[in-house]
Amino acid sequence: MEYLIRFAQIHESFRRAELEALADLLHIHIVFSEYNQYSPHCIVVLPDEAAACALIQRSILSQGIYELWGSGSTYEELHGDIARRTSSQWRVYQSSSFKFEIQAFQIKRSLAEQAEIIQSLAYLGFQGPIQLKHPEQTFSIFEECEWGIKDPKRIHFGRFVSGSSRIILDKFTLKKRQYLSTTSMDSELALLTANLTQAAPGKLFYDPFVGTGSFSIACAHFGAVCMGSDIDGRAVRGKNGINIATNFQQYKLEDKSLDNFLADLTHTPLRQVRFLDGIICDPPYGVREGLKVLGSRDGGGKEVVWIDGQAAHLQDKYIPPKKPYSFERMLDDILDFAVESLVDRARLSLWMPTANDEEVELDIPTHPFLEVVSVCIQPFNKWSRRLLTYRRLRNDEVKLDQSFKPKLLGDGTTANDLNSFRRRYFEGFKAGP
Residue 208 phi, psi dihedral angles, 5° rounding: -75, -5
Q: Given pLDDT bands bounded at 50, 70 and 90, which one contains residue 242? A: very high
- Percent of the chain with pLDDT strictly greater than 90: 68
How far from 304 is each of 293, 296, 300, 323, CA to CA, in Å? 20, 14, 13, 19
pLDDT digits (tens, 9 = 90+) for 148-192: 777 889 999 999 999 999 999 999 999 999 999 988 999 999 999
Instruction: Specify the pLDDT at position 299.
Output: 61
Q: How confident is the model at residue 57 (pLDDT cuts 50, 70, 90)?
A: very high
Per-residue confidence (pLDDT) for residue 112, from 0 to 100:
94
- pLDDT of 257 higher than 90: yes
Higher pLDDT, 364 or 149: 364
In whole numbers, what is the pLDDT of the chain averaged over residues?
Answer: 88
What is the greatest pairwise CA distance in the chain?
90
Distance CA 198, CA 19 (A): 11
Q: Are 39 and 16 in contact (CB under 8 A)?
A: no
Give the pLDDT mean for 223-238: 92
pLDDT at position 300 over 70? no
d(CA 32, CA 45): 6
* pLDDT of res. 431: 54
- What is the DSSP code string of 108-128? ---HHHHHHHHHTTGGG---S
Who contacts 204 (Cβ-Cβ below 8 Å, separation ≥6)? 224, 225, 226, 227, 258, 275, 276, 277, 278
Res 306: pLDDT: 86
Mean pLDDT within 35-43: 94
Length of the chain measured in residues: 433
Predicted pLDDT of residue 286: 53
What is the predicted pLDDT for the residue at 408? 47
DSSP class of residue 273? S
pLDDT at 176: 94
Q: How many helices (H) and strands (E) does the chain have?
A: 11, 18
Q: What is the pLDDT of residue 79?
A: 96
pLDDT the model gives residue 413: 52
Give pTM, 2 decimals: 0.87
The region of weakest confidence among 65-79, 152-166, 313-327 is: 313-327
pLDDT computed for residue 264 by the predictor: 86
The burial of 72, by beta-carbon neighbours within 10 Å (0-12 exposed, 13-18 middle, 19 or more buried), is given as middle
Q: Is 38 exposed, middle or buried (0-12, 13-18, 19+ CB in 10 A)?
A: exposed
> DSSP letters along 320-334, please?
--EEE--HHHHHHHH
Q: For position 358, what pLDDT does the model report?
A: 53
- The better pLDDT of the pair 403, 21 is held by 21
Q: Which of 167-176, 292-301, 350-359 is predicted most confidently?
A: 167-176
Return all residues near 50 (Cβ < 8 A) that are at least 6 apart.
Answer: none
Name the pLDDT band for 433 (thresholds 50, 70, 90): very low
Distance of CA 351 to the CA centre of its chain: 10
Angle 298-303-308 from CA coordinates, rounded to 5°: 140
Measured N-to-C along each axis, helices 187-196 and 214-221 cross at an angle, to the nearest 10 degrees, of 60
Tell me 430's DSSP state.
P
Q: Percent of the chain at pLDDT above 70? A: 87
**Confidence check: pLDDT of 409 > 50:** no
